[in-house]
Amino acid sequence: MNGIKTFFHNMKYTTLCMFRAKTSLFWTLAFPILLATFMYISFGNLFEKDELFKTINIAVVESENDDTLMSILKSLDVNYSDKSGDSKFSNLINMKIMDPSSAKDALSDKEITGIIYTENCSLVVDENSFNASILESILTQYKQQEDVISNIAKTDPQNLENAITALTDTDTAYTEISSSDGNQSEYNNYFYAIFAMSCLFSAFSSVSSTCWMLANTSPLGMRRCLTSTNKTILIISEYIMLLIIHFIVELISLLYITALGVDFGNKYPAIIATLFFGCMIGLAIGIIIGALPKVNKECKIGISVAVGMFLSVMADLCASGIKDMVEHKFPIANRINPACLISDCFYSLNVYENYDRFFRNISIMGLESVILLTAAFILLRREKYASL
């Protein structure tokens, strides 16, 4: 009974110490929120503006004997309906028939992406872009099919009708293929990395908390070492209380960043579980750093900053593409990097329908937490002092 009372008593004072540690609160709550705000202001909607596919506005300059190309373009037009009139065949382009002069004016005013001249099947664009590449690929495919049909007409005319049917049956390429319903914005990776960094920065609290148990790093540690309180109770109670506090902090950050308009998908129970396991591994890293012998508190805080920042940078916090490069060069690093695991949980939940990748990631984080806590427990239990 006395052990339970001590357990909750220590949790109470861990909470008080946590809220008095203004530096830890800043790095775990204020800094991620400020960073997310600045990131959102800088490029939060760039993906929607520049990369998310939208119907392509084009101008078409008609000429005589262009029925085949025009029929293909009309079939890709957003206003086209099938023979039954029930549904649209495609929303790839929004086509407007114009004369050459009007088309050039529209292109200059950025009203359209490009101009297609049906006379020679050519494309004119004002700048290279993703949408311009799509238009170019449409015309390239049309020219290739036109050459194939011409060759078949000369060499095997009896199979011409079958060849035309096979070559023109390409509607599924535009209307049925979808890799995911989730938001695949590369800019979301930065926000995933913010959560990863925030979870890892919870290590600051656990470093301080661990130092308060050691006689050679704080006066409080000296007094604790003189008491008869079981060190196991101290470690477990402080870890649980810090986990609850930081988990609540992460939920606040999630609500704020979601309110900004960042799309994390709709699998919020799994997202919350990701933040919970992220706090677990972050605190575990802090405890093992705090348990390092013969190292003062300031140095331990510096180590936790360096570790947290390095792991976060490797998870795309500073530049998108680093994690992907590591994945190709040294994939095992991404499998054990807690920041990568946290950000990958967000990515997999937002993109994939199944939970296989998510469960793999949180299992690894859970295992890493247990290993680090066990090692820290052994180090702390072995701490002995000749005098206090």
Give the per-residue pLDDT at 388: 46
Cα dihedral 73→52→179→260 (10° resolution): -150
Please tell me the distance from the alpha carbon of residue 35 to that of residue 316, in angstroms, as a whole number. 14
Residue 135 CA to residue 186 CA, distance in Å, equals 23
Answer whether 73's CB lies under 8 Å from 123's CB: no
Picking from 41-55, 105-119, 216-230, 320-334, which range would have the lowest pLDDT averaged per residue?
Answer: 41-55
The per-residue pLDDT for 92 is 77
Percentage of residues in the chain having pLDDT higher than 70: 72
Residue scoring higher pLDDT (341 or 25): 341
Cα maximum dimension of the chain: 102
Residue 173 pLDDT class (50, 70, 90 cuts)? very low
> Beta 122-125 vs 114-117: how paired, if at all?
antiparallel
- Do residues 98 and 61 touch, judged by C-beta distance below 8 A? yes
The answer to whether 311 and 199 are in contact (CB under 8 A) is: no
| Tokens representing residue 204 in the block | 């600051």
User: What pLDDT does 171 receive?
Assistant: 47
CA 219 – CA 223 distance, rounded (Å): 7
Range 123-138 average pLDDT = 80
Query: What is the average pLDDT across 20-37?
Result: 75
Query: 3-class SS at 210?
Result: helix
pLDDT over 60 at 84, yes or no: no
Helices (H) and strands (E) in the chain, counts: 19, 4
Ranges 18-32, 46-60, 276-290, 332-346: which has the least confidence:
46-60
> Which among 272, 273, 274, 286 has a CA at the least distance from the CA of 242?
286
Minimum mean pLDDT range among 4-8, 28-32, 245-249: 4-8
Question: Where do we find the tokens 């004016």?
Answer: 105
CB 347 within 8 A of CB 195: no
pLDDT average, residue stretch 303-322: 82
Per-residue confidence (pLDDT) for residue 220, from 0 to 100? 61
pLDDT at 362: 94
- Give pLDDT tens digits for 177-212: 444 555 556 667 778 888 888 888 888 888 888 877
**Most confident of the following: 16-20, 103-107, 367-371:** 367-371
Closest by CA to 213, choosing from 203, 201, 221, is 221
Would you state the pLDDT for residue 342? 92
Paired tokens of 230 = 């079981």
Average pLDDT of the segment spanning 266-283? 93
For residues 86 and 268, what is the distance between their CA atoms, to the nearest angstrom? 36
- 50, pLDDT greater than 80: no
* Mean pLDDT for the stretch of residues 278-304: 89
Looking at residue 218, its pLDDT comes to: 65
Q: Rounded to an integer, what distance in angstroms lies between the CA atom of residue 203 and that of residue 287?
A: 7
- CA-to-CA distance for 369 and 181, rounded, in angstroms? 33
- Cα distances from 231 to residues 6, 12, 98, 227, 376, in angstroms, run 11, 16, 81, 10, 12
Query: Whole-number mean pLDDT of the chain?
Result: 77
Confidence at residue 75, expressed as pLDDT on a 0 to 100 scale: 75
Residues 206-225 have pLDDT tens digits of 888 887 777 666 666 666 66
- Rounded CA-CA distance 264/241 in Å is 27
What's the whole-number mean pLDDT along residues 294-310? 87
pLDDT given for residue 168 in this prediction: 56
DSSP secondary structure string for all residues of 181-230: SS---TTHHHHHHHHHHHHHTTHHHHHHHHHTT-TTT-HHHHHHHHS---
pLDDT exceeds cutoff 60 at 29: yes
